[in-house]
Amino acid sequence: MRIREPKPPGPPEFPLVGNAFMAHRDPMATLTAWARKYGDVVHYHFFRLPAYVLFHPEHIEQVLLTRAGGMSKGMISRTNPELFGNGLLTSDGDFWRRQRRLSNPAFHRENIVCYSEIATQEAARLLENWKMGETRNIHDDMMNVTLRIVLRSLFGSDFLGGAHVIEKALDGIMRGSAGIQAVAALLHIPTLARRRYFRAVRELDGVVYEIIAGGRRKFKHGGEGTSGDLLTLLLAAQDDDGNTMTDQQLRDEVITLLLAGHETTALALSWTWYLLAEHPHVEERLQVELDTVLGGRWPNADDLPKLPYVDRVIREAMRLYPPAWRIGRTTSEPFEIADYVLPAGANIVLSQWVTHRDPRWFPDPERFIPDRWEEKSAAQVPRFAYFPFGGGPRVCIGAGFAMMEATLLLASIAQRYRLRLVPDQQIGPLPSITLRPKNGIRVQLQGRQAAKAVAASH
């Protein structure tokens, strides 16, 4: 009979406050240091709440897949209930299964093919406003273009007027949920940043309820089947008892999908442009593939399997800068892990940032090496050492949509421009609900031919 240890190791605790506050000074660096010092299972306290951070892929697999039925969504996803409500991200049990079932049709392959045309159209529209040699904040551009794609694809083309309000509100929400503000949220402390956060949620609600009202009017006059967008499908969907979604349920799902389908893709692309600018040899290989496959034309859904290097570049960027940098679960029953038994009600934290950069799974982990995702190399990566979209039954419903969107946007833009980082700027991540670049990413636009001429002169 194996003897169980009483409690996993962890950082020193202080009376009353525990030690979780230590992770909010620089949470990603702190979690990384804990993993290196204490191992694959780390225990800490947030006031009276016990929490456990799991870093090993086998343990992550147990939480997300093999024992997912014994888990509910954790305290991390419920830090901002006024934002997410009871949508796909935060709901549990039968209600979550119902909502997932109602949302699934919008992400079937035939609909994603339709959405791909919108992605290319919006890429072309973005580039119409670009001028050679100008300086742009590429993060702002990616936020804008992915938001337009999501609004058109998932909610129809009638709601683009609210894009600016949504972008501004999301920026306030993210800054009001970062660092020490996350602690303020859990403790309900009314800081100035949190007041701005609540104001931003109200502004976002105003636009979302307007989208829903417009969708209901369109659905009423057009009837079921007039559109393949998600909002129409959700309005038409009925459960086994014939019930449809209330405005509150629709609001929660729309906000969840706005964040998942827009914010995360924009961040994946923002960090991809940063990494490509830092690694011109990777950019050159990317552009050779684009020239060979596309020859200057706009990409479409049929091109996706023909662009394996584009896919590898995006996957490697999400390894180094995962848009969702941590996720949480709560045990609903005792949970045996490694040499420990975690009690029912224990909060579990999984960190993509730490596991994705673990040298045991990724040699030279800080380097940007897209060929890690070449088929033979990728097969050597342990399952759940890489989980940018989560995993198991609650894997991100929009993962296929996000990869399609990111691939087509990257291919469309990289064919025409090289982006060079503006010197003397500080680029670093802001660990909030997602992983935004704290101060944006400013780049100078170079045309492909001009960039080649400069390279040849050296």
How do residues 130-184 score in pLDDT, each as one tens digit? 999 999 999 999 999 999 998 888 887 666 777 888 888 888 877 766 555 555 5
Q: How confident is the model at residue 362 (pLDDT cuts 50, 70, 90)?
A: very high
- Provide, rounded to the nearest whole percent, the portion of the chain with pLDDT above 90: 50
What is residue 345's DSSP assignment? T
Q: Is the predicted pLDDT of residue 296 greater than 80, yes or no?
A: yes
Q: What total of structural domains would you count in the chain? A: 1
DSSP-derived 3-state class of residue 24: helix
Q: How confident is the model at residue 297 (pLDDT cuts 50, 70, 90)?
A: very high
The whole-number pLDDT of residue 226 equals: 46
- Give the pLDDT mean for 343-357: 94
Q: To the nearest 5 percent, what fractions of the chain are helix, strand and coil?
A: 55, 10, 30
Which two tokens mark 50? 């016990």
Tell me how far apart the alpha carbons of residues 173 and 152 are, in angstroms, rounded to a whole number: 23
**Which amino acid, one-letter code, is at 299?**
P
What CATH number has the domain bearing residue 93?
Answer: 1.10.630.10
- Give the pLDDT mean for 374-380: 95
The whole-number pLDDT of residue 1 equals: 39
In a domain, 371, yes or no: yes
The whole-number pLDDT of residue 23 equals: 57
Q: Is the predicted pLDDT of residue 190 greater than 70, yes or no?
A: no
The whole-number pLDDT of residue 216 equals: 86
For residue 24, the Cα-to-chain-centroid distance in whole angstroms is 20
Tell me how far apart the alpha carbons of residues 147 and 227 are, in angstroms, rounded to a whole number: 19
The whole-number pLDDT of residue 121 equals: 94
Specify whether the CB–CB gap between 346 and 74 falls below 8 A: no
Among 199-213, 305-319, 373-387, 418-432, the least confident range: 199-213
What DSSP element (H or E) covers 10?
Answer: none
The whole-number pLDDT of residue 56 equals: 98
Q: Which residues contact 360 (CB under 8 A, 6 or more apart)?
A: none
Q: Which residue pairs, CB below 8 angstroms and at least 24 apart, start in 374-379?
A: 374/312
Average of per-residue pLDDT values in the chain: 86
* Placement of tokens 């680029």 in the chain: 427
The whole-number pLDDT of residue 275 equals: 98
The whole-number pLDDT of residue 331 equals: 92
Q: Which residues contact 24 (CB under 8 A, 6 or more apart)?
A: 179, 180, 182, 183
Tell me how far apart the alpha carbons of residues 363 and 360 are, in angstroms, rounded to a whole number: 7
Tell me how far apart the alpha carbons of residues 335 and 74 are, in angstroms, rounded to a whole number: 14
Specify whether the CB–CB gap between 256 and 263 falls below 8 A: no
**CB-based burial label for 343 (10 Å; 0-12, 13-18, 19+):** exposed
Q: Closest by alpha carbon to 329, among 122, 90, 140?
A: 90
What is residue 105's DSSP assignment? G
- Give the pLDDT mean for 187-193: 65
- Give the pLDDT mean for 374-387: 96
**CB-based burial label for 438 (10 Å; 0-12, 13-18, 19+):** middle
For residue 165, the Cα-to-chain-centroid distance in whole angstroms is 20
Q: Is the predicted pLDDT of residue 49 greater than 50, yes or no?
A: yes
Quote the pTM value.
Answer: 0.89
- Give the pLDDT mean for 73-95: 74
The whole-number pLDDT of residue 188 equals: 61
In a domain, 281, yes or no: yes
In a domain, 11, yes or no: no
Q: How confident is the model at residue 228 (pLDDT cuts 50, 70, 90)?
A: low
Q: Residue 109: which domain range?
A: 20-457
What DSSP element (H or E) covers 29?
Answer: helix 27-38
In a domain, 6, yes or no: no
In a domain, 5, yes or no: no
Tell me how far apart the alpha carbons of residues 253 and 397 are, in angstroms, rounded to a whole number: 12
In a domain, 162, yes or no: yes
* H helix intervals, 66-178: 81-84, 93-103, 109-128, 138-155, 163-175
Q: How many other CB atoms sit within 10 Å of the CB of residue 294?
A: 17
* Placement of tokens 């159209």 in the chain: 121
The whole-number pLDDT of residue 109 equals: 78
Tell me how far apart the alpha carbons of residues 191 and 196 are, in angstroms, rounded to a whole number: 9
Among 102-111, 183-192, 344-353, 369-378, the least confident range: 183-192
Specify whether the CB–CB gap between 363 and 381 falls below 8 A: no
**CB-based burial label for 270 (10 Å; 0-12, 13-18, 19+):** buried
- Give the pLDDT mean for 61-80: 81
Q: Is the predicted pLDDT of residue 458 greater than 50, yes or no?
A: no
- Give the pLDDT mean for 394-414: 93
In a domain, 7, yes or no: no
The whole-number pLDDT of residue 119 equals: 94
In a domain, 205, yes or no: yes
Q: Is the predicted pLDDT of residue 229 greater than 80, yes or no?
A: no
